[in-house]
Structure formats: C-alpha cells, structure tokens
C-alpha cells in the first residue's frame, strides 16, 4: 500500500517553463466560444435589421403601385361614364333634330286651328315623348336678342324699343339641357337711329313738368 506524504497537495499540470501565475490566468480567461458569442449575435441583429428595411421598402413600393392603379381605375371609370353620357346625348340630339320639322308642322297647325281630332292626340303624344327626352322649346316675342340662341332672319327699326329686341318668332328654338339643337329664328327690331331712349324721354318730360310751375 502506498502511503500519502503528508503536507503535499496535488497541483494542476503546468507546462514546462510556465509559472503558476500563468496557469491561474489561463484558467480564469474565457474560452474562444464564449468570446465569439456576442460578436455573432450583433452580426445576426444587423442582418435582420437590413432585411426588415428591405421588406419595408418593398412594401412601400407595392403600396404606391396599388394606389396608382386604383387612381387610374377610378379615372377610367369616370371617363367611361362621361363618354357614355356624351354618346347618349348626341344620339338623342340627332334623333330629335330629325323630328323638328314635324314639330314645326304641329305648331303651325295649332296656330291655324287645324289641330283637331285624332291628329291632335298624335301631336300631343309626340310632344310629350320629346319632352321626356329632354327637348325644350324657347324663343318669345319681346325678349332681348341674343346671337348665341337667336338667328335674325328679318330686321327693322321701331320707336318703342330701347335695344335690339325679338318682335316676332318665325321658328321656335330647341335645346336639350345646355345644348342648343336649333336657334330660334326671329325678326328683330332696333331703336330708331338718333332717337333718344324712352327712359331719357320720360326723365326729360318729368323735368319739364316740374320746372314749368316755377316762377322766373
């Protein structure tokens, strides 16, 4: 049996040429895996952040594309609706333009008292239908002449007008909404050349009457 020598303790193996202090510092130093762990985590976090930024940029780009497509689609729908309404108005206007001579005949028959019997019922039905389609008649005697809606076929002078006035409606005008299908064909009268306006005459007459009673 081997006897242990009292007073001696086992010490870790120390390489030759190394002191005990070197052995203790080596034992206290962290391993290579422990030293490289924090650096690896930082690199992974940086890579994830870069990927997240790329994903956000891609999402913003796709969102912008979607918004542009939606705006283009809305503009397309409005354009199609506007074109549809325009085409409908043109078609209705063309149809009603072909019916204007018939409406003129109806109007002349009414003026001469010939709109009676079955002809009267047909004429009234026709006028009701064109009115539902939006056809409106315009042009009245006594209204000021407007070259944008009136066509002057006759011209004269009159002492009782102060501006160019429609004194006779030869053919009524027709419109659909703001679109004029046919201007009103009228006879117009202008004030007499050199004649004072009626308002000025009345004012002058009032002044003469008020001054006639004053003593000089």
Model pLDDT for residues 158-213, shown as the tens digit of each residue: 988 999 999 999 999 999 988 899 999 999 999 988 665 554 455 555 555 555 44
Q: Report the predicted TM-score, pTM, of the whole model to 2 decimal places.
A: 0.56
Tokens of 184: 């009103």
Dihedral sign, Cα of residue 32, residue 37, residue 42, residue 43: positive
Predicted pLDDT at 193: 81
For the beta sheet containing 173-176, the strands, ordered from the edge strand earlier in sequence to the opposite edge, are 135-138, 173-176, 179-182
Q: Does residue 38 or residue 43 have the better pLDDT? A: 43
Predicted pLDDT at 148: 93
Looking up tokens 């007459």 gives: 205
Model pLDDT for residues 48-73, shown as the tens digit of each residue: 888 888 888 888 888 988 999 999 99
Q: Decide if 126 contacts 100 (C-beta within 8 A).
A: no
Model pLDDT for residues 63-100, shown as the tens digit of each residue: 988 999 999 999 999 999 999 988 988 899 999 999 99
- CA–CA gap between residue 161 and residue 138 (Å, rounded): 21
Predicted pLDDT at 8: 46
- The neighbour count for residue 130, using CB atoms within 10 Å, is 21
- CA–CA gap between residue 176 and residue 89 (Å, rounded): 8
Packing angle, helices 32-111 and 117-132, rounded to 10: 160
**Phi, psi torsion values for 21, nearest 5 degrees:** -65, -35
């Amino acid at each position: 049996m081997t006897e242990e020598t009292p007073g001696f303790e086992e010490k870790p193996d120390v390489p030759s040429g190394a002191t005990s202090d070197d052995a203790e510092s080596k034992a206290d130093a962290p391993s290579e895996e422990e030293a490289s762990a924090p650096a690896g985590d930082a690199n992974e976090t940086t890579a994830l952040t870069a990927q997240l930024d790329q994903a956000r940029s891609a999402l913003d780009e796709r969102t912008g594309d979607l918004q542009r497509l939606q705006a283009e689609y809305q503009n397309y729908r409005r354009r199609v609706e506007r074109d549809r309404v325009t085409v409908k108005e043109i078609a209705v206007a063309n149809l009603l333009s072909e019916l204007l001579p018939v409406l003129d005949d109806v109007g002349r028959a009414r003026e001469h008292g010939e709109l009676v019997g079955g002809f009267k019922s047909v004429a009234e039905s026709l006028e009701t239908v064109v009115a539902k389609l939006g056809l409106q008649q315009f042009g009245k005697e006594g209204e000021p002449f407007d070259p944008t809606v009136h066509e002057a076929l006759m011209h004269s002078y009159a002492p009782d007008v102060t501006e160019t006035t429609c004194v006779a409606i030869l053919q009524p005008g027709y419109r659909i909404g703001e679109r004029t299908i046919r201007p009103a064909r009228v006879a117009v009268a202008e004030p007499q050349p050199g004649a004072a306006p009626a308002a000025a005459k009345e004012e002058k007459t009032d002044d003469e009457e008020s001054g006639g009673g004053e003593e000089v």
